């Protein structure tokens, strides 16, 4: 039989136990808050343009692979599509914007970055609108359809004190990083002969074959990969001159106002030469850079995955990344957070547009064309 003293002792032990549990809970709560403080909040990205690239590449990257950013909203011309994305992917309806209401994002702290993935001719308009709303910008390649538009985008981002990055995903792929390293360190010697091709067989007319939306044909789409890769293989050099020839059109009903295909050559100041082909009538995707005795050969070269690289010293055995786009977006989110420069800034997109403009001029004139400064 318990005495009153026994009952008091039991109560005291119970009280001490409860105090200990409470202290443990407080300690756990403190550790969780400390962990939250150590792990910074993911930055919010709004996708502007919900076409195949956003659906097939950017969305899966944000949902499954990114560590520093997340899908926070969309910009779309279809309210119904926006509502469906909100329902399916867990962001509030207030984070749905139209292209006419992008300025209202200025009042939304949940969105830090806008990824512009609309047709080429709309890149400048939508990037500038995002910048004016105070949001950092990733713009899909090609940066714009003219150097003048590139300049306007760069100026708008500087005026708004926001960062601008171009969607050159291959800069974040380990195989292409190895090409960049070889070009920089020249352990193969300088790459002097560069060749490649990139294209696909377009079966019907889509916006890419409409000059008003695309600004051009396969050069503006698939060819940009080739010319950008050549600059990468020459350690970031800009070509000094180009020559070019448009292919005869076999399907003018589709390619009425853009080229169906083209060949072009790029000359570099050190004597290196790059020869490429791009087409909407054949499936291609390879790249080769040759030094005096050594080489690197990519096939496939520009795909989202499955890249294969052979060198003069054997196959390049690297671990592929699960998503080039995820690494690209994560890196930009860290650039924003740490206030550092992206490795794929607007100036890089502008350089490539200088080359594109020279190539189109060479096609029109049939003459060797100097690339503008």
- Cα dihedral angle (97, 103, 107, 109), rounded to 10 degrees? 70
Is 280 part of the annotated catalytic residue set?
no
How many residues in total does the chain contain?
Answer: 373
> Catalytic: which of 115, 225, 280, 360?
225
Active site residue 99: no
> 152: Cβ–Cβ under 8 A, 6 or more apart, which residues?
124, 128
Output the CA torsion sign for 119, 123, 125, 127. positive
Complete DSSP assignment for 111-177 = --EEEE-S-GGGHHHHHHHHHHTT-EEEEPSS--SSHHHHHHHHHHHHHHT--EEE--GGGGSHHHH
Q: Is 181 exposed, middle or buried (0-12, 13-18, 19+ CB in 10 A)?
A: exposed
Q: Which one from 135, 141, 168, 360 is the annotated catalytic residue?
A: 141
**Dist CA 175 CA 238 (whole Å):** 22
Half-sphere exposure of residue 69: CA atoms within 13 angstroms, side-chain side? 32
**Catalytic residue set:** 141, 225
């Amino acid at each position: 039989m318990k005495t009153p003293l026994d009952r008091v002792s039991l109560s005291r032990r119970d009280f001490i136990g409860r105090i200990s549990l409470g202290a443990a809970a407080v300690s756990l709560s403190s550790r969780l808050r400390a962990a939250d403080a150590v792990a910074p909040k993911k930055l919010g990205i709004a996708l502007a343009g919900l076409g195949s690239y956003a659906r097939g590449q950017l969305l899966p990257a944000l949902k499954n692979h990114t560590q520093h950013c997340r899908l926070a909203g969309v910009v779309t011309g279809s309210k119904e599509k926006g509502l469906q994305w909100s329902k399916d992917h867990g962001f509030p309806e207030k984070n749905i914007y139209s292209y006419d209401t992008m300025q209202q994002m200025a009042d939304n702290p949940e969105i830090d970055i806008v990824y512009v993935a609309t047709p080429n001719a709309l890149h400048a308009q939508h990037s500038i609108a995002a910048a004016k709303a105070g949001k950092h910008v990733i713009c899909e390649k090609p940066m714009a359809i003219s150097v003048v538009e590139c300049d306007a985008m760069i100026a708008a981002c500087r005026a708004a004190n926001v960062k601008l990055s171009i969607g050159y995903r291959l800069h974040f792929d380990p195989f292409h990083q190895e090409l960049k390293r070889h070009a920089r360190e020249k352990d193969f010697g300088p790459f002097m002969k560069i060749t490649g091709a990139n294209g696909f067989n377009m079966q019907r007319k889509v916006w890419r074959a409409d000059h008003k939306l695309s600004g051009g044909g396969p050069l503006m789409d698939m060819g940009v990969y080739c010319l950008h890769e050549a600059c990468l293989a020459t350690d970031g050099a800009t070509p000094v001159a180009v020559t070019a020839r448009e292919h005869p059109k076999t399907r003018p009903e589709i390619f009425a106002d853009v080229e169906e295909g083209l060949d072009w050559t790029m000359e570099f100041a050190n004597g290196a030469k790059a020869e490429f082909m791009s087409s909407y009538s054949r499936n291609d995707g390879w790249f080769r850079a040759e030094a005096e005795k050594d080489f690197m050969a990519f096939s496939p070269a520009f795909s989202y995955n499955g890249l294969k690289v052979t060198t003069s010293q054997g196959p390049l055995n690297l671990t592929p990344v699960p998503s080039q786009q995820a690494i690209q977006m994560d890196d930009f989110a860290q650039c924003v957070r740490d206030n550092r420069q992206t490795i794929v800034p607007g100036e890089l997109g502008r350089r490539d547009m200088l080359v594109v403009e020279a190539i189109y001029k060479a096609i029109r004139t049939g003459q060797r064309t100097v690339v503008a400064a």
